[in-house]
Chains A and B, each alone.
Chain A
Amino acid sequence: MIPLSCRVLVGIASLLVPAPKRLEWRREWQAELWHRAASGASRGELWHHARGVFRDAAWFLESERKEHGFDLFRKPLRAELIFLGLGILACLYSGVFRAPRLPYADAGRLVLFERNIAFAGAIDPRINSRLFPVWTQGPSFSALSPYRILRQPELTLHVASNFFEVLGVKPLMGRTFRSTDPSDAAVIPYDVWRMNLHSDPQAVGRPVSIGTRVYTVIGVMPSDFWFRTKDIRVFAPLGRWIHAGSIVARLKPGVDVASARNDVRVLARKVETRWISDAFDLAPLLQDPRPRSVTFALGLSAAAALLGMLFLLFKGFGKWRYSMFMLGVRVFIVILSLALLGVSVSGSGPVGQLTFSLFVFWIFLMACSGAVCLLVIDHRGRCPVCLARLRKPVPIGSWSSQVLDQPATEYLCPSGHGALYIAETGNAPDSWTVLDESWQEFFAHHSR
C-alpha cells in the first residue's frame, strides 16, 4: 500500500539510524505511512511526509555526535588537509584547469585519432600504420597527418611532410617539410631559435646542435606555436612510417565529429576485426583531454569514499562507528590529494593522455593502495572518539598462560576518553573501554 518510492526513502534513511534502533525506527515510519495511505492520502502527500525521514534519521547521528564528542576538525586531519592543499597547489601550478590556447587555423575542424583501452580505463593515441591508407580514402577528412613524439635524445616531434599544412600554420621564417627532405632537416620552435641560435635572422640553412644530434635548420616556427606540449625541442621528418604512431586530421567543411567517427570505424573494419574497429575514436583537438582525467580521478576517489561510507553504514561497528567514518574521510582526502597530484603530473607530461593513462594511472593505484594500508594501520592506534594517537602502552597478561591470561597491550587516550585493548596473539578482537568522568582528574591537562 505504501508507494515504492516512499519505502525506498525510508530504507535508505534507516541506514543512518544506529543498528539497535533501526528496526523499530523503520517499523514506526512504515506504520505511519501505511495508515496515512489507508486514509486516502495521495502519492504526492505521502512523498511529502516521507521526505522528513532524513531529518529524523539525522537526529540519531547528531545525538551520537554529541555523545561521543566527535569533531571533524581535530588534529589528526591536519596532515591529510595539508596533503590535500599540496595536491590543489600542484594542480594550480601545472595549469591543469587552464584551457590551452590553440594557435591553429580553424582549430575546430582538427581532430586526433585515439583508441579506447577498456581494461585500463584509458586512451591510447597510437594507431597501427596499416590503417592510415584506409582512412586517407575516407569521405570525412580533407587531410590526415601522422606524427610521433620521441623523448630521446631530446623531446622530438617527428612529423609527416603535410603536418603543418594540416594544422594550418606557417613558419616564421624558412619553410616546412617536403617529402624529399633528409632526416637531419629540422624545423625548430621559436625558443630554440632564440636560445641556441641567438635569434639569428640568417638561421635557415645553418646547423644547430640539439641534444646529441646536429640538424640543419629549414624553418623556424612562430613564438605562439605549440602542439600537444610546449616542451618540444625540435620538429624532424617522420621518415619511414613506423608501425605505430599518432594521427592528426582536418575534417572537411560541414562534417561533424560524430559522422567522421562513424566513418573511421566502418573503414577500419576493412582491415581489423569489429571489436578493435569500434574502439577507435576521434577527439577534437580543441577539447583538452585533461578535464576527463580530472573527472576520472575525482570519480575514483568519490567511489572509494562511497564504498567506505557504505561499509560503515551496513556494518555499523557500534562504538567504532565514528572511528570508521573518520577513516573513510581520511581515505577520501588522501586519495583525492593523490588524484590531484597525478592529474598535475599528467598535465605537464609531454605525451598528455598516454602519460596519465598507462603510467601515472598504475602509479596512482599503487600509491592509493599503499596510502590506504598506512592509514588503516595508523587509524588502529587512534582514539575512536577524538582520534588522538593512543599513548602509554602497557603490556598485560602472560605468554606462559595464554588461555587464562592472554598477553595483550593496552593503550590510553591522552584525553582520557578510554583505553584500547589489543590482543598480541590475535585471538580476540580489539576492545575499547570507555573511561567515565571519574577519571577526568588524571587527564586535567588535556581537554576532552
Chain B
Amino acid sequence: MPALSNLSYAAASILLSISNGYQYGFDIMDCTGLPSGTVYPALRRLEDSGYLSSEWEAGASPQVDQRPARKYYAVTYGGEAALEAALRRYPLLDRAALTLTEKKRSDL
C-alpha cells in the first residue's frame, strides 16, 4: 500500500465522494466535477492500492427493471485512514466534507 500522503487532490476528492454515498463512476463525476478520463483511472488506482473495494450490483433489481447492473465502489478501512490523512492535508476538502455531510443529513 503506498504512503497515505501520496494521495492527490483528485484522488482524495473521489474517496470523499464515495465515503459520502456516491458509489458509481458517473455519480462520482457529478459530485466532484472531474471528467471521466480522470475519475476512472483514479478508481482503478485506488482499488489497486486497497483503498477501495468494488462489487457488482446484487439482487434481482437490474433484471426486473431491465437495465444493466452497475459496479459499486466502497471505501475500505485503509481508504478511510488515507482519507483522514488527506483531509488534514487539504483543508478545503475538509470543508467540502462538512458540506457533503450536511447535505446528506438534509436529504435524509
Contacts and interface: CB of A to CB of B under 8 A. Distances in A.
Interface of A: 27-28, 30-32, 34-36, 38, 48-56, 58-60, 63
3 smallest beta-carbon distances between A and B, as pairs:
A52-B36, A52-B37, A55-B37
22 contacts: A27-B68, A27-B69, A28-B70, A28-B71, A30-B68, A31-B68, A31-B69, A31-B71, A34-B68, A35-B26, A35-B70, A38-B67, A51-B36, A52-B37, A53-B40, A55-B41, A56-B36, A56-B37, A56-B41, A59-B41, A59-B45, A63-B44
Contacts of B25: 28, 32
Nearest to B54: A28
A53 B44 CA distance: 12
Interface in B26-74: 26, 29, 35-41, 44-45, 48, 67-71
Nearest to B62: A31
Give the residue among A38, A49, A53 with the most B Cβ atoms within 10 A: A49
Nearest to A62: B41
Nearest to B36: A52
B41 A49 contact: no
A30 to B, nearest CB: 6
Contacts of B39: 52
A38 to B, nearest CB: 7
A48 B36 CA distance: 9
Interface of B: 24-26, 29, 35-41, 44-45, 48, 67-71
A36 B36 CA distance: 12
Nearest to A27: B68
Nearest to B39: A52
B44 A59 contact: yes
A39 to B, nearest CB: 9
A52 B35 contact: yes
A30 B25 CA distance: 12
Nearest to A33: B26
Given A51-B36, A52-B39, A35 B44 contact: no
Contacts of A54: 37
A28 B56 CA distance: 9
B10 to A, nearest CB: 13
Contacts of A28: 25, 70-71
Contact of B37 (A30, A34, A51, A60): A51
A49 B26 contact: yes
Which of A28, A34, A38, A55: most chain B CB closer than 10 A?
Answer: A28
Contacts of B36: 49-53, 55-56
- Specify which of B25, B67, B69 lies most central, judged by the most chain A CB atoms within 10 Å of its CB: B25
A218 B36 CA distance: 78
Contacts of B67: 34-35, 38
A435 to B, nearest CB: 23
A35 B65 CA distance: 12
A56 B71 contact: no
Contacts of A55: 36-38, 40-41
